[in-house]
Amino acid sequence: MTFRVERIDHVVLRVRDLAGMVRFYEQALGFREERRLERLNLVQMRAGASLLDLIATDASSGAPNMDHLCFRVEPFDRDAIVMRLAPFGISVGETVDRYGAEGNGPSVYFHDPEGNQIELKGPAH
């Protein structure tokens, strides 16, 4: 079995001013706050069929401002994902149930050849 990328599910940005960025995306682009996880300093904002996640970070961390990019795939088939990425020398993390634009569903993480963290996410259950 194989899989195909359907769309971007969500993007996670690291931000220095969480309240200011939430305000910006609400006022400038009409996004709305969907979920807030205080323990992670994370706000998930609805952007049409997708989410934009904003996570507060320390400006001095030196980390890039994109934490990861998530693509929604159909169907979610871990074996097919592993087989498709293996020829590129890419190993896939464990399958975990995570929240995305459609709700909770299976997902895996890996890094592309330039070190960007990518998540492939299946349908919500």
| Segment 2-43, tens digit of pLDDT | 899 999 999 999 999 999 999 999 999 999 999 999 999 999
Taking the model in full, what pTM does it have? 0.90
Q: Maximum Cα–Cα distance for the chain, whole Å?
A: 45
Least confident of 41-45, 63-67, 108-112: 63-67
Closest CA to 7 of 70, 54, 78: 70
pLDDT above 90 for 72: yes
Tell me what the pLDDT averaged over the chain comes to: 94
Inter-residue contact 9 to 100 (CB < 8 Å): yes
DSSP state of 48: T
User: What pLDDT is stored for residue 59 in this prediction?
Assistant: 66
Q: Is the CATH number 3.40.190.10 carried by domain 4-121?
A: no
Only one residue has tokens 């996640």, namely: 53
pLDDT above 80 for 99: yes
CA dist., res. 80 & res. 67, Å (int) = 25
Closest CA to 70 of 112, 14, 3, 120: 120
Only one residue has tokens 């159909």, namely: 74
Is the preceding omega at residue 75 within 30 degrees of 0, hence cis? yes
Which pair of structure tokens corresponds to residue 81?
Answer: 């994902």
- Of the chain, the percentage scoring pLDDT greater than 90 comes to 89
User: What pLDDT is stored for residue 46 in this prediction?
Assistant: 97
- Of the chain, the percentage scoring pLDDT greater than 70 comes to 98
User: What pLDDT is stored for residue 113 in this prediction?
Assistant: 85
Q: How confident is the model at residue 64 (pLDDT cuts 50, 70, 90)?
A: confident
